[in-house]
Structure 1
Amino acid sequence: MSLDKPSQGATSEECAARVMDTVPLVMRFIRSEMRAHKAAFLSIPQLRSLAFLNRSPGASLCDLADHLGVTSATASATTERLVQRNLVQRSHHPQERRRIVLNLTDEGKYHLQQSLDQTRTHIADLLKGLTAEEISHIEEGLALLKNVFEQTELNSP
């Protein structure tokens, strides 16, 4: 394993470049791992849909489409397949008849959780080769990144 050491005193631009290089690599690994486990019968957009609905119960079809970066028609087709597999429940909004509300079923939660647990275990196995100090550095960096990007979500419309 080659260690790409960060430079001391890196600028915010250099740090941003490192984030943009690293996050997609990590996300590709996570997606690949999640597909490799019990949820292998699900596509990446379907897994992303389940994860989004787990974080945002009661989301609308438009919310899901925005998250996936697809049209409402594509999100509707993805949702339909998940509904047919009893992983997502689709219902009408109580006050707005034309609005669709999406929620995970117990089976959907189970499959998502299984996939997340197995992926987390594999990541933990990869991190076992690091020292306690290296793990602490990763934890500190991730906490800082989470704080920065949570602020962008709080400030977005």
Structure 2
Amino acid sequence: MADSLDICARELLDVMPLVMQDLRRTMRSQSAPDLRVPELRSLAFLRHNPGSNLTDLAEYIGVSLPSMSKLVDTLTFRGFIERTPDAQDRRRVRLGLTESGLAILAKAREAVKASFVAKLAKLEPQDVERITTGMKLLHSLFALAPDTDVANG
């Protein structure tokens, strides 16, 4: 069992960069060539976490607060993000997507999905089903809260 876990983990580590590279290429070329991947990732984060603050977003993207502040300024100027004062702490600002932000994100997602569909169409139907089953398992595994103990959960 340990060997199969090791092999599976290695395969996951090997395939993730390839998938992300394809995703980035598609997002740049087809959906929103004028948006960089960190900007699109920021929009996606805010779609799933409306009302987050700058610190939350910077931690997720993995950049410094000054870098994230500049990125948010750009996205706000372009009309993709709106800032709202925090009701409990006036020094803080909550971030959310505008309709334009939601639209550009939906366009990017559709372009990436179409690219994935084109690649998956080259496989046999039973292989697509196997991948789908595996992806659902991975989704349920990685969707667990970060502090959840998988062995005891």
Tell me, yes or no, whether TM beats 0.5.
yes
2:62 pairs with 65, 69, 86, which one?
Answer: 69
1:100 pairs with 93, 98, 105, which one?
Answer: 93
Matched, 1:81 2:81: no
Q: Secondary structure at the match of 2:146?
A: helix
Matched, 1:44 2:46: no
What residue is the counterpart of 2:105 in the other structure? Answer: 112
TM-score (normalizing by structure 2):
0.91
Distance 1:114 1:89 in 2: 19
Question: Which deviations, in whole Å up to 9, do the C-alpha atoms of 1:98-148 show, x marking residues without a partner?
Answer: 111110100010011011111101211111111110000000111111111
Cα RMSD for the two superposed structures? 1.6
Instruction: Give the superposition deviation at 1:39.
Output: 1.2
Runs of 4 or more, structure 1, over 3 Å off, are none
What are the within-5 Å matches in structure 2 for residues 141-152 of structure 1?
141-152=134-145
Question: Which deviations, in whole Å up to 9, do the C-alpha atoms of 1:56-106 show, x marking residues without a partner?
Answer: 111110000001111111111000000000000012111111111110100
Aligned length: 148
Structure 2: runs of 5 or more not aligned: none
| Paired letter, 2:130 | H
Distance 1:131 1:121 in 2: 18
Q: Secondary structure at the match of 1:102?
A: strand
Instruction: Give the superposition deviation at 1:154.
Output: 6.1
The 1:28–1:131 alpha-carbon spacing in structure 2 relative to 1, beyond 3 Å, is: same
Taking only the aligned residue pairs, the percentage that are identical comes to 32
Distance 1:25 1:100 in 2: 36
What are the within-5 Å matches in structure 2 for residues 14-53 of structure 1?
14-53=7-46
Q: Secondary structure at the match of 1:89?
A: strand
1:126 pairs with 111, 119, 128, which one?
Answer: 119
Structure 1: runs of 5 or more not aligned: 1-8
